[in-house]
Amino acid sequence: MEVVYGEIHRIAERHLRREQAGHTLQPTALVHEAYLKLFAGSEIAFADRAHFFATVSQAMRRILVDHARKRAAAWRAQGGQRVPFDSALNVEVEPGSGPVGLLELDEVLDSLARESPELAQLIEMRYFGGMTAEQSAEVLGRSVHVVRHDLRLAHAWLRRELAGG
């Protein structure tokens, strides 16, 4: 853990930069929650470095989504109206439509993972893990051109799904 803590902390900071100002979780707390979520009670075997960081990043995203769901439910229970959340990818379905909410984006990413786990992994690595196309290509053992093509394909797929099919 000591060897990778700095990189995991940077991933947490990237996740939290996309959240609303005044978020109750801090990067260190997010790292610790992800660690507990992943390693409490069981040992996980990671295929490689990319798998490890993608898994950690996905755990952090799940924690933030659960946090957003609880916050939205509490707000509605108090008679409030639905609160829009900042976008994790800052994706606009159409120009000027505004960013997509974290909960909606999470549902669409889950759909992408069911259809194409490889594309979902690239999105996780790039947007949630903060890895460049070059870093992703190196870790996955693919060419940079293939990774960039797949990222464009995944992004187009996400836009289509967010626009309603």
pLDDT at 85: 36
pLDDT at 116: 94
Judged by DSSP in three states, 99 sits in strand
Q: Find, among 66, 64, 50, the residue nearest to 121 by Cα.
A: 50
Q: For the chain, what are the domain ranges?
A: 5-162
Mean pLDDT of the chain: 77
pLDDT at 83: 40
Low-confidence ranges of the chain (pLDDT < 50): 80-90, 92-95
CB burial of residue 148 (10 Å; 0-12, 13-18, 19+): middle
This prediction has a pTM of 0.55
CA 82 to chain centroid: 22
**How far apart (Å, rounded) are the C-alpha atoms in residues 75 and 37?**
26
pLDDT at 93: 47
**Residue 71 CB coordination number (10 Å):** 15
User: Quick check: 54 and 121 in contact, CB under 8 A?
Assistant: yes
**How far apart (Å, rounded) are the C-alpha atoms in residues 57 and 127?**
10
Judged by DSSP in three states, 92 sits in strand
**How far apart (Å, rounded) are the C-alpha atoms in residues 68 and 86?**
10
Portion of the chain with pLDDT greater than 70, in percent: 76
pLDDT at 7: 87
